[in-house]
Amino acid sequence: MRVLGVDPGLTRCGLGVVDGLPGRRVQLVAVGVATSAPTLDVDQRLLVIERRIEEWLEEHAPDTVAVERVFAQHNVRTVMGTAQVAGLAMVAAARRRIPVALHTPSEVKAAVTGSGRADKPQVQTMVARLLRLEAVPRPADAADALALAICHLWRPAGALGAPERPGSALTPAQRAWAAAEQAARR
């Protein structure tokens, strides 16, 4: 299964494509960011981002698009731009009849690190480790997009309506994180 992760943002929109199967190793396909200049009018900035998302959909032909669920922030301008870009990604996928999934930041952190309260460096480090990369993807938006794609692939059993299996509530990353924590305590 191929997943395009989208970390929406008006200045930088993270894009990451990962191949894998639920509970299996994941493989990096592509990572990058779509950028728009703050000097442009908002409609033109959205057009620039939308074109890049369309190019990624065309080039990588994902089976699913995973988008970060926008949550209320203190800065209304920031949340508006983020929500607008998230909407662009969803519409672009819908145009191609590609399913879209929304994941909260804490869901993504928990799937990738084992903790919904992990900080950005922890998420970035685990993304690099899980994808066997020599360096953490930069900028952070790119790593976040990859984390979204991994999260979608590694949702616990039952997330897609599949029956829950005993002991399957943790993702592979969560199990690895827990094992590392236990080893560190010894």
- Is residue 185 very low, low, confident or very high in pLDDT (cuts 50, 70, 90)? low
Residues acting as catalytic residues = 7, 68, 141
Distance in angstroms (rounded) separating the CA atoms of residues 186 and 181: 9
* Predicted confidence (pLDDT) at residue 22 exceeds the cutoff of 90: no
pLDDT of res. 179: 61
Q: Of 143, 105, 103, 145, which Cα lies nearest the Cα of 126?
A: 143
Q: Which two tokens stand for residue 4?
A: 């395009």
**pTM, rounded to two decimals:** 0.83
Percentage of the chain beyond pLDDT 90 is: 72
What is the CATH code of the structural domain delimited by 2-185?
Answer: 3.30.420.10
Distance in angstroms (rounded) separating the CA atoms of residues 20 and 76: 36
- Buried/exposed 151-166: b ≥16 CB within 10 Å, e otherwise: bbbbbbbeeeeeeeee
The model's pLDDT over 144-178, given as tens digits with 9 standing for 90+, comes to 999 999 999 987 543 443 333 334 455 566 566 55
119 is in an annotated binding site: no
pLDDT of res. 182: 62
* Predicted confidence (pLDDT) at residue 27 exceeds the cutoff of 60: yes
Q: Which two tokens stand for residue 110?
A: 């928990």
7 is in an annotated binding site: yes
pLDDT of res. 133: 96
pLDDT of res. 87: 97
The answer to whether 71 touches 153, Cβ cutoff 8 Å, is no
Percentage of the chain beyond pLDDT 70 is: 81
What residue segments make up the domains of the chain, in order of their start? 2-185
Distance in angstroms (rounded) separating the CA atoms of residues 118 and 120: 7
- Is residue 9 very low, low, confident or very high in pLDDT (cuts 50, 70, 90)? very high
pLDDT of res. 77: 73
DSSP β-bridge partners for residue 100: 65
Of 177 and 116, which is predicted with more confidence?
116
Axis-axis angle for helices 172-185, 105-113 (nearest 10): 60
Among 9-23, 68-82, 154-168, where is mean pLDDT lowest? 154-168
The model's pLDDT over 95-104, given as tens digits with 9 standing for 90+, comes to 999 999 999 9
